[in-house]
Amino acid sequence: MHLLHTADWQIGKGFGPIPGDDGAALRNQRLETVTTLAELARTEEVDAVLVAGDVFDAQSVSDRTIRQLFERLRAFPGPWILLPGNHDAAVAESVWDRARRLGAVPEHVYLATEPAPILLEEAGLAVLPAPLQRRHEPADVTAWLDAAEIPAGYTPVGLAHGSVTGFLPAEAEAANPIAPDRAATANLAYLALGDWHGTLQVNERTWYAGTPETDRFTSSHPGNALLVTLPGDGGSPAVETRATTRYRWHRLSQPLHEPDDVVALGDRLASLGEPTTDQVVDLTLRGALTLADKADLDELLAAWRGRLRHLRVDDTELTTRASEADLAALDGAGFVATAAERLRQGAEAGEPADATALEMLLAAYRRQGGG
């Protein structure tokens, strides 16, 4: 039996730090990635797709977003079991209620909003969902799996969203706890989990799939789906990690002091992978460059802005410094040279406005025909 295990699609989520068209493209890619998943399910001929929570980023996504998502699911006609997570908990008037009311849910898509077995007769699969019916559940909602009754001949597979107790970093365990041995105590063939955005194995039969499309710089090992094969003899599941993300997120930090540093930065950007338009980069620059080197840097960054999906640059720690040659060009410029020298002193004393002012002054001086 083959299953495709995925989670944390978070459809409708924005990209706060990434403005404009870049942000729109990234947001749209979440839906595109669902198509990728459907395609993967179809090519791998899986028996079901298990989505372990946080399908939607919020209860208040627009109707259009809801319809768009369910339309994408038609690309794979097999069963999809969608589990409410903490972002889209099965609360009153939830996004799931709205989807049903809109008539957007295709027949082969199961909304696991109740803690009750979903029996897929054709596959002989009994999906035991532990939906979150509140955003934060203090108790382990998978507890009922231990006593769940399923008809004979069905393979029991758990589906839950939360933090495996004692397994994840402390900040991830604030709510929605899941017992680490739930797969064993409930005698499950596999426990498909969501909430942790990186792909992560908890134990032999328990995995976090992670988000299929990377959406932040900090997640570890995101951008995958899990292809799970359950042997007919009840043995251990075979789990394959399949990359599904389109965009790669990179957080870089580069010190800049010499011209070579600018060149090295270009090399680093070039080594991020192809295609460059699928790379999202957060670049922090530190140090101090001469005006000429700064001009080179600006040119380099302008070029990469066009090549990357998104390049965010934090250069608040980067200053410019006037070289001796820069200042020498002002010889004979009278008070202009005096002003430039004072701005240079200010810049060296850590006054960023003075550094920029000096840069402006020198540029204006050249433009006005001085030097």
Partner 1 sequence: MQLQRVRVTNFRKLMGPVEIAELPPGLAVIGGGNEEGKSTLLEAIRAALFEKHGLMGEAARAMQPLGAAVAPEVELDFTVGGTEYRLWKRFVSKPRAELCGGGQTWADDAAEDQLQALLGFQRPGKGASKLEHHGLWGLLWVSQGETFEQPVVPNATARDSLAGVLDTEVGEVLGGDVGPRLLQEFATERDRFWTKAGKPRGELKEAHSALERARAAREAAEQRLHEEAERRERLERVEQERARMRAEGVVAQMEARQQAAEARQQELDQRRRAVEDAEQQAKLAATERAQAQERWQGRQTLRDAVADLAEQEANAEETVTARQGEAEQADAERDRLARALEAAETALDRHRARERHLEGLRRRQTVQAERDRVADTLAKATAAEAAAREARKAAGALAVTDQALQALRGQEQALGEAEARLQGAATQMELAVNVAYQVTGEAQGDGTGYRITGEAEVILDGVGRIQVQAGGAELPEQKEQARRARRERDAALDALGVATLAEAEDQLARKQAHEQEASNQDQRLAALAPEEAGGLAGLRKRLDQLDAELAGLPTPAEDDPDGEALAAACEQARQEREGAETARNQARQALDAQQQTVQAADNRLTQARTRLEEIQRNRARYQRQLNEARAEADDETLARALSDKQGQEEAATAAAREAREALDALDPEAIETEVAHARAAVTKAKEREQELEREADGLRRALRETGDEGLSEQVAELAREEEAAERQAAAVEREAAAVWRAAGALEEAAREARQAYLAPLNRYLVPYLRYLFPGAEPVLSDTLAVEGLQRGGQAEAFTQLSIGAREQVAVLTRLAFADLLAEAGGEAPPVILDDALVYADQERFDTMKHLLARSAQRHQVLVLTCRPMDYLSLGAVEFRVG
Binding site for partner 1 (CB under 8 A): 12-20, 23, 27, 57-65, 91-94, 98, 101, 134, 332-336, 338-340, 342-343, 346, 351-361, 364-365, 368-370
Q: Is the distance from CB of 132 to CB of 142 less than 8 angstroms?
A: no
Q: How far is CA 88 from CA 9, 53, 85, 267, in A?
A: 11, 8, 5, 42
**Nearest residue to 202 (alpha-carbon basis) of 82, 56, 52:** 52
| Residue number, 303 or 364, with CB nearest to partner 1 | 364
The distance of closest approach from Cβ of residue 18 to partner 1 in the complex, given in angstroms and rounded to an integer, is 7
The distance of closest approach from Cβ of residue 54 to partner 1 in the complex, given in angstroms and rounded to an integer, is 13
| Residue number, 32 or 63, with CB nearest to partner 1 | 63
- Phi and psi torsions of 248, nearest 5°: -110, 135
Of the CA atoms within 13 Å of residue 249, those in its CB half-sphere come to: 17
Q: How far is CA 266 from CA 165, 252, 289, in A?
A: 44, 12, 15
- Phi and psi torsions of 301, nearest 5°: -65, -40
Q: Length of the chain in residues, anyone? A: 371
Copy the structure tokens of residue 241.
Answer: 């990690």
The distance of closest approach from Cβ of residue 358 to partner 1 in the complex, given in angstroms and rounded to an integer, is 8
The distance of closest approach from Cβ of residue 296 to partner 1 in the complex, given in angstroms and rounded to an integer, is 20
The distance of closest approach from Cβ of residue 343 to partner 1 in the complex, given in angstroms and rounded to an integer, is 5
Copy the structure tokens of residue 230.
Answer: 């359950």
Kind plus residue range of the DSSP H or E element containing 41? helix 20-44
The distance of closest approach from Cβ of residue 139 to partner 1 in the complex, given in angstroms and rounded to an integer, is 15
The distance of closest approach from Cβ of residue 124 to partner 1 in the complex, given in angstroms and rounded to an integer, is 35
For residue 155, count CB atoms less than 10 angstroms from its CB and return exposed for 0-12, middle for 13-18, buried for 19 or more. Answer: buried
